[in-house]
Amino acid sequence: MRNLLAFITKYNAFFLFLIFEVSALLIYIKYNSFQKATFINSQNQVTGSMFAQVSELKSYLHLKDVNDSLAAENAKLRGMVKSSFYVDTAEKHKVVDTVYKQQYTYVVARVINNSTNQSNNYITINRGSRDGIGKDMGVISGDGVVGMIAAVSDHYSVIKSLLHSKSQFSAMLSKDKSVGSFLWGTDLNPHKGLLSLQNDAKPVMGETVITSGYSLFPTGIPFGKITNLHAKEGGLLLNVEVGLSVDFAKLQYVYVVVNKYAPEQTGVEAVETK
């Protein structure tokens, strides 16, 4: 027994190393699947509020860019308003329109923590479950798709960015309408994505890739424009490279897409797959 103790004290560095290393790896493996992460990440009260303060400071430096992008978005939206269309018929009568029901609402949130240079990037925003945000909701910005909500606390939520090795979204070509799945590219470039299409699709250089409307997002939110038709040769699918329309490094404000009919849709789909 004494020999054993002497042995342990002589090589205590090694035994201490084992203990700490195993506990660190346990934490890493256990919380790596992001759903379970509750405490050691940027949505907890301490780190969340610290990021909020620093981002408050930094947001002053970006005021001009944000203003420009808001003005551009306003101009685009103004173009869609009914009053900016020329009405062809002379006859006008009022119709109570019950065909359109609001399906998507948007919660605006400020980005308080963001990374683009890891292999799995997350974004923290300053809105949480109190503002109606739930897990697995889509997130967009004025320019295009940003990601999907991965975890929510009362006041903060964490977005699994499009720049994440496990992010995958349903996308389609704007002209051809053929549907594929959209991933982040393989070389960790924050400006490039990869779209996998069936082989009979006919993508064109410069064509816009948009959301398909099958999942979290309304149809027509852009991902980006095609920059390379033969990104990855071989394999069963056609892979095209897409230049992302969102500049993730400069992200300031995002919109969380709240789909009113999402629970109904997932409920029906769950029944079907049973």
Partner 1 sequence: MGRTIITNAIRFLLLVFIQVFLLKNITFYNLATPYFYILFILLLPFEIPNVLLFALSFIIGLTVDAFYDTPGLHAAACVVLALVRILFINITVQKEGFDNEPEPTLSIMGLRWFFAYASILTLAHHFFLLNLEVFRLSEIQYTLSSVILSSVFTVFLMLLSGFIFFKRKERK
Residues that bind partner 1 (CB under 8 A): 12-14, 16-17, 19-21, 23-32, 37, 40-42, 44, 46-47, 51, 54, 113, 115-120, 122, 124, 158, 187-190, 249
Which lies closer to partner 1 via its Cβ, residue 122 or residue 255?
A: 122
Q: What is the DSSP string of the chain?
A: -HHHHHHHHHTHHHHHHHHHHHHHHHHHHHHHSGGG--SSSTTSHHHHHHHHHHHHHHHGGGHHHHHHHHHHHHHHHHHHSGGGSPP--S--------S----EEEEEEEEEEE-SSSSEEEEEES--GGGT--TT-EEE-SSSEEEEEEEE-SS-EEEEEEEETT-EEEEEETTT--EEEEEE-TT--TTEEEEEE-TT----TTPEEEE-SSSSS-TT-EEEEEEES-SS-SSSSEEEEEEESS-GGG--EEEEEEETTHHHHHHHHHHHH-
d(CA 28, CA 20): 12
Nearest to partner 1 of 163, 171 (CB atom): 163
Comparison of 180 and 224: residue with beta carbon closer to partner 1: 224
Distance in Å, CB of 226 to partner 1, minimum: 22
The CB-of-207 to partner 1 minimum distance in angstroms stands at 26
In 3D space, the residue among 157, 199, 150, 151 whose CA is nearest the CA of residue 178 turns out to be 199
Nearer to partner 1, 169 or 248 (CB): 248
Of 27 and 204, CB closest to partner 1: 27
Q: Which is nearer to partner 1, 18 or 229 (CB)?
A: 18
Q: Which is nearer to partner 1, 189 or 215 (CB)?
A: 189
Residue 67 CB, nearest approach to partner 1 (Å): 22
CB of 44 to partner 1, least distance (A): 7
Minimum separation from the CB atom of position 267 to partner 1 (A): 31
Count of other CB atoms within 10 angstroms of residue 79: 9
* Residue 164 · residue 147 · CB < 8 Å: yes
Least distance to partner 1, CB of residue 225, Å: 21
Give least dist CB 272 to partner 1, A. Answer: 35
